[in-house]
Structure 1
C-alpha cells in the first residue's frame, strides 16, 4: 500500500539539503587529501605508503558521495511520509576511515 506523501516544512527540507551539502564538502576534502597524499607525501619506500593513504581517502570520498545522495533521498522520502528519519552509519564510517588513514600515515612517518 502506497502512503500518501505531503510536502514537509521547507525548513526541514533545507536542513536536509544542508546536511547533504556538508557530506559533499567532506567527500571533496577526502578527494583532495587523497590526491595530495599521492602527489606530495614522501614516506620513502617507492611511495607506496602515500598511495595507500591516497587510496583510502579517495575511496572514502567516493563512498561518502554515494551514501550522501542515498541519505538525502531517504530523509526526504521519510519526511514526506511522516515517518522517522532512517538511521545512518555514514559518520561512523567517515570517522573510522579518516582515523585509519591518519594512523597509517603516522606509522609510516615514524617508521621512516
Structure 2
C-alpha cells in the first residue's frame, strides 16, 4: 500500500535536513581546524574539529538508512523506528559547545 504522499514528502525533507546538517557540521569542523593558533590550544582545536567532522560523517551516513527504514514502516503501516542517533548528536553538539565555551573563557 502506498503511504500518504504528505508523509513520504515529509520523510524526504527530513532526509535532506540530515544532509544539510551534515554539511554544516563538516564546515564547522573545517573552520575549527583553521582557527589561528593563538585562539584555542592546538589540542582543543583538533578535538573540536574531529568531533564535528565525525558527527558530520554520522549524519550523512545514517540519513539514507533512516529514510529507507521510515519509508518501509510507512508502507507497511508499522510504528516508525526511533531516532537512533538523537542522543549521540545531542551529546556531541553539547560537548563541542561546552569545550568551545571553556576555551573562549580561558583565552579571555
| TM-score w.r.t. length of structure 2 | 0.88
Report what 2:76 is aligned to. 81
User: After the TM superposition, which parts of structure 1 deviate over 4 Å for at least 4 consecutive aligned residues?
Assistant: none
User: Gaps (5+ residues) in structure 2?
Assistant: none
Out of 3, 12, 20, the residue aligned to residue 7 of structure 2 is 12
The CA deviation at 1:12 is: 0.8
Aligned mates of 2:36, 2:103 — CA distance in 1: 11
Q: Which moved more, 1:34-43 or 1:73-82?
A: 34-43
Does residue 68 of the first structure (1) align with residue 83 of the second (2)? no
Match in the other structure for 1:29 = 24
Q: 1:3 corresponds to which residue?
A: none
Which TM-score applies when normalising by structure 1? Answer: 0.85
Hey, what's the Cα distance between the residues in 2 that align with 1:57 and 1:12?
30
Partner of 2:102: 107
- Cα gap change, 1:71 to 1:44, in 2 (>3 Å): closer
Task: Give the deviation of 1:44 after TM superposition.
Answer: 4.4
Does the residue aligned with 1:83 lie in a helix, a strand or coil? coil
For structure 1, which runs of at least 5 residues remain unmatched after alignment?
Answer: 1-5
Structure 1 range deviating more: 8-17 or 82-91: 82-91
Q: 1:13 to 1:67 in 2, by over 3 A?
A: same
Instruction: Tell me how large the CA RMSD over aligned residues is.
Output: 1.5
For these two proteins, the number of residue pairs brought into alignment is 106
